[in-house]
């Protein structure tokens, strides 16, 4: 591709398309419906789950940011009864649309080869793995607390998980089990063929097909992206820089992906940007006129819009750091500050805390 054939678009066009793909161009304008939630999850690649519950769980907040007040039980039914969403590790643990199951099935089947750190554990704990799988077969769904164990005396951390917890995690990540439900937010697993038998009937993608899908999914969700954006968006499976460039090179060669030149402020680092060829008209339209962004909402720290925080700073001039892991005396904006999105701009943040017994929301700082 010659330099003259590389499309040039302003940074604001990338920001506008990103807002649209993240369903934030007009937040909370449309009410919650199952079809809208599924489209949102498909466009973004997943809705992240997290255990922190200062205001509400991350996935409930993320859906509220788009659709406003809704019945949280309806989202639970969509995932754990209708099985229209399933849990898997896309960016982190996410609710992913079942339409994406054949794609992630490829990663599940390859998990033991890509995640080589498991090899030693599996050699030592095959009996534990078989015991846990048999217990699920006979009495599932079960969670980690259902297995008797001796707690390690060492400090807490994933490396000190009891062996049965490791086994449950391996069985889930390798697709032999799926999350059946949650009780008090604790995962309960069952055999995959019992949780989603219909999904297992389809053939998984082959490796080349998965690589193409993974890259296209990320570019679709981002609108236009740098290599670092792609690395930080769908972070699973872990892909090295050389491997990612190989993926990009193949799609650039077929014309599915195009390099684009982004007009950035003076002094911005020079970086290559990429977009799906089919998205070039949308970027061009956003370049010619500023799409109307209307509405206000708050964003969860784990919102897909913020999965790559340096991108938010580059596109919107907004530096965000979650401070739940920062000692209190070193926090700047609060324990669980939520960015404020207003008419397409990140304009500030609030630090809230829900007092559920009193049905009161405290705003500690704005």
CA dist., res. 165 & res. 129, Å (int): 10
CB 350 within 8 A of CB 271: no
CB 44 within 8 A of CB 21: yes
CB 38 within 8 A of CB 85: yes
The reported pLDDT for the residue numbered 237 is 94
For the chain, what percent of residues have pLDDT higher than 90?
A: 80
The reported pLDDT for the residue numbered 50 is 96
Neighbours of 252 (CB within 10 A): 16
Task: Output the pTM of the full model.
Answer: 0.92
| pLDDT band for position 156 (cuts 50, 70, 90) | very low
For the chain, what percent of residues have pLDDT higher than 70?
A: 95
Residue 61's H or E segment, with its range, is: helix 58-67
| pLDDT band for position 155 (cuts 50, 70, 90) | very low
Reported as a single tens digit per residue, the pLDDT across 227-272 is 999 999 999 999 999 999 999 999 999 999 999 999 988 777 778 9
CA dist., res. 70 & res. 32, Å (int): 6
- pLDDT for 159 beyond 60: no
CB 355 within 8 A of CB 362: yes
CB 224 within 8 A of CB 15: no
Residue 88: closest CA among 2, 214, 208: 214
CA dist., res. 12 & res. 287, Å (int): 7
The reported pLDDT for the residue numbered 290 is 77
Q: What is the mean pLDDT of residues 113-138?
A: 86
Q: How many alpha carbons lie under 13 Å from residue 296 in its C-beta half-sphere?
A: 6
């Amino acid at each position: 591709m010659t330099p003259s054939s590389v499309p040039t678009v302003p940074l604001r066009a990338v920001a506008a398309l990103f807002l649209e793909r993240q369903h934030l161009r007009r937040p909370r304008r449309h009410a919650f419906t199952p079809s809208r939630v599924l489209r949102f999850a498909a466009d973004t690649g997943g809705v992240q789950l997290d255990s922190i519950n200062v205001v509400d769980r991350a996935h409930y907040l993320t859906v509220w940011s788009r659709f406003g007040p809704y019945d949280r039980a309806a989202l639970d039914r969509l995932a754990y009864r209708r099985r229209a969403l399933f849990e898997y590790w896309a960016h982190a643990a996410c609710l992913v649309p079942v339409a994406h199951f054949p794609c992630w099935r490829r990663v599940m089947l390859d998990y033991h080869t890509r995640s080589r750190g498991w090899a030693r554990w599996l050699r030592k704990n095959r009996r534990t793995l078989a015991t846990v799988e048999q217990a699920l077969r006979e009495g599932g769904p079960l969670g980690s607390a259902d297995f008797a164990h001796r707690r390690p005396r060492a400090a807490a951390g994933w490396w000190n998980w009891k062996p049965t917890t490791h086994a449950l995690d391996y069985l889930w990540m390798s697709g032999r089990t799926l999350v059946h439900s949650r009780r008090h937010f604790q995962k309960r697993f069952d055999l995959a063929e019992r949780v989603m038998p219909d999904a297992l009937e389809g053939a998984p993608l082959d490796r080349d097909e998965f690589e193409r899908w993974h890259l296209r999914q990320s570019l679709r969700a981002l609108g236009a992206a740098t290599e670092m954006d792609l690395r930080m968006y769908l972070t699973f499976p872990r892909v090295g820089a050389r491997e990612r460039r190989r993926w990009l090179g193949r799609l650039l060669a077929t014309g599915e992906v195009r390099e684009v030149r982004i007009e950035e402020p003076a002094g911005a680092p020079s970086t290559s940007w990429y977009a799906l060829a089919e998205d070039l008209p949308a970027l061009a339209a956003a370049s010619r006129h500023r799409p109307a962004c209307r509405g206000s909402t708050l964003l969860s720290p784990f919102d897909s819009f913020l999965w790559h925080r340096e991108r938010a700073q580059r596109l919107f001039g907004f530096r965000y750091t979650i401070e739940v892991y920062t000692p209190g005396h070193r926090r700047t904006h609060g324990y669980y500050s939520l960015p404020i999105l207003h008419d397409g701009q990140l304009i500030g943040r609030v630090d809230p805390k829900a007092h559920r017994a009193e049905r009161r929301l405290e705003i500690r700082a704005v």
